[in-house]
């Protein structure tokens, strides 16, 4: 018999909230820190009876496990939506506001309207439903954990696609984050149109 791991406390957290809010969506983002690429967000509505083995904070999961869970979550979710805010929006609005915009788009893109949106972190986007932020929410709520996996996997796939268009930057390796390798490649090749100018203002001004 295959061994499974169920983090039941994540599901119990959501079950308790459903006593007052029958339809809960978890919301999380991925890609606030990188120097390049869009910021992603996901919103996920799980049924009360839905239990997903291994579901946890996406940062605590291997890439292989996240990829496996991506399909399971989409299959078991009552509703889900993955949304983005562009590099141009990040530079124009700043990264926090762009991440909030991506979250808003994710929630508004759901096929069912939530009674309550659980937002990972300590900031809230502008939504028409009730909201509650949850610090370290992806390690607290199953719905947020599911959203964290969808957002992370979707963004990593997007960065691999960018790597094919801009092979000189090795996006498939660092996913746009400010690693030593990434800065060395920026020094060599300059800033591309998928880099966040506001994150690289000093380097951009020097160029």
Supply the pLDDT for residue 3: 60
- Edge to edge, the sheet with strand 39-45 lists 79-85, 39-45, 24-30, 116-120, 130-134
CA distance 50 to 47: 5
8-158 CATH fold: Nucleotidyltransferase; domain 5 (3.30.420)
Contact 61, 152 (CB under 8 A): no
CA distance 151 to 39: 9
Supply the pLDDT for residue 1: 39
Residue 116 in 3-state DSSP?
strand
**Residue of 83, 82, 81, 77 lying closest to 110 (CA atoms):** 81
Per-residue pLDDT of the chain (207 residues; tens, 9 = 90+): 356 789 999 999 999 999 999 999 999 999 999 999 999 999 999 998 889 999 998 889 999 999 999 999 999 999 999 999 999 999 999 999 999 999 999 999 999 999 999 999 999 999 999 999 999 999 999 999 999 999 999 999 999 999 999 999 999 999 999 999 999 999 999 999 999 999 998 666 655
Phi, psi at residue 130, to the nearest 5°?
A: -65, 150
């Amino acid at each position: 018999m295959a061994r499974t791991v169920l983090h039941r406390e994540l599901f119990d957290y959501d079950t308790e909230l459903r006593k007052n809010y029958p339809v809960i969506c978890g919301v999380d983002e991925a890609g606030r820190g990188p120097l390049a690429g869009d910021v992603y967000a996901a919103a996920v509505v799980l049924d009360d009876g839905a239990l997903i083995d291994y579901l946890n904070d996406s940062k605590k999961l291997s890439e292989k496990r996240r990829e496996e869970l991506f399909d399971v979550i989409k299959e078991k979710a009552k509703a889900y939506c993955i949304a983005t805010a562009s590099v141009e929006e990040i530079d124009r609005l700043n990264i926090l506001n762009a991440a909030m915009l991506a979250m808003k788009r994710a929630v508004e893109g759901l096929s069912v309207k939530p009674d309550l949106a659980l937002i990972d972190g300590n900031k809230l986007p502008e939504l028409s439903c009730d909201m509650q932020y949850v610090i370290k929410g992806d390690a607290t709520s199953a719905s947020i954990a599911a959203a964290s996996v969808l957002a992370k996997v979707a963004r990593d796939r997007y960065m691999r696609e960018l790597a094919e268009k801009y092979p000189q930057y090795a996006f498939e390796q660092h996913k746009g984050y400010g690693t030593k390798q990434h800065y060395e490649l920026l020094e060599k090749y300059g800033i591309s149109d998928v880099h966040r100018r506001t994150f690289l203002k000093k380097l951009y001004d020097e160029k």
